[in-house]
Amino acid sequence: MSRQAVIEANRLVRPDALRIGQRLDIPGCQSARVPVAVEPAGPVARPEGMLLAAVGPRRVPTRLFLAVPEFNGRSIDFTWPVMGPVLSGFGRRRSGWHAGIDIRAEVGTPVLAAAPGTAYFSGWERSYGRIIRIEHDNGFTSLYAHNLQNFVEVGDRVEAGTVIGTVGRSGRASAYHLHFEIRHEGMVYNPLYLLPARDTILARTDEMPEPPEDDDEDE
C-alpha cells in the first residue's frame, strides 16, 4: 500500500499535519486487532513523574487507527529549541491527545531551529497562533507554536540554533511557552524520544492548566 494511495483515499490536503487519533481509510484493509508499539528505538530519559501514552491492541473495522508509532528509521540530530522545564508532555491530556511537548520560557525568549532545514510555513493557525514549520532531511519536519514573533519566511534556509522567532502565548495558550512537535513522513512522534536527554525535566501532563477556548492574542 503506497503512501499516495492513502492520501488519495482520504483526500488529504496536508498529509504532513495528521492529528493524533485521526482515523484514515486504508483501501483493502480488513478488520483486525492492530498492536501499536510505543517504545523508542533507542535509550530514552524517562524522569520520575513522566506520563507516557500507552496504546494497546484495538479492533478497527475496515479502518486502521494510527496512534503513537515506534520510530525505527534513520534519525537526525535534533537540539532543544528553547531550554526550560517541560510543562506538558506528549500524549493524553484532559482535552485529548497532545501532539508535542510544551516548554516553559519567558516571553521574548529566542526560539531556535532544532535542526538544519527549510521553512515551509510561517504564519498563523488559530489554535497554534503564530507558528513555524521547518522541513528537515530524511522526511522529518518540526513545528514551533504560540510564538510572539516569527523571524523566518517560507523558503528561508536555517541551521540548527538559528533564531527563528520568540516565545509568546499566541493562539490557544494560557501561559508563555513553546509548543514543539516533530513529525516523520507525516506521522507525529514524541519529541523526547529524539531530543538529547536532559537531567532536569518536568513532565506532567497536568502541570499546566488547560488553555481557554478563545485566543489570547489577535492575529
Top pLDDT among 91 and 179 is at: 179
Query: Is 183 inside any structural domain?
Result: yes
pLDDT in tens, 149-163: 999 999 999 999 999
In tens, the pLDDT along 46-61 reads 444 444 443 334 333 3
Residue 86 falls inside a structural domain: yes
As for how many domains the chain has, the answer is 1
CATH number, residue 164: 2.70.70.10
Please report whether residue 122 resides in a domain: yes
Q: Is residue 216 part of a domain?
A: no
Q: How would residue 180 be classed by pLDDT, with cut points 50, 70 and 90?
A: very high
Which of 5-9, 65-69, 159-163 has the largest mean confidence? 159-163
User: Which pLDDT score, from 0 to 100, does residue 133 have?
Assistant: 97
**Residue 169 · residue 177 · CB < 8 Å:** yes
In a domain, 36, yes or no: yes
Structural domain contains residue 208: no
Residue 207 is assigned to a structural domain of this protein: no
Q: Is residue 203 part of a domain?
A: no
Which residue segment(s) compose the domain that 101 sits in? 3-193
What pLDDT, on the 0 to 100 scale, is given for residue 116?
A: 97
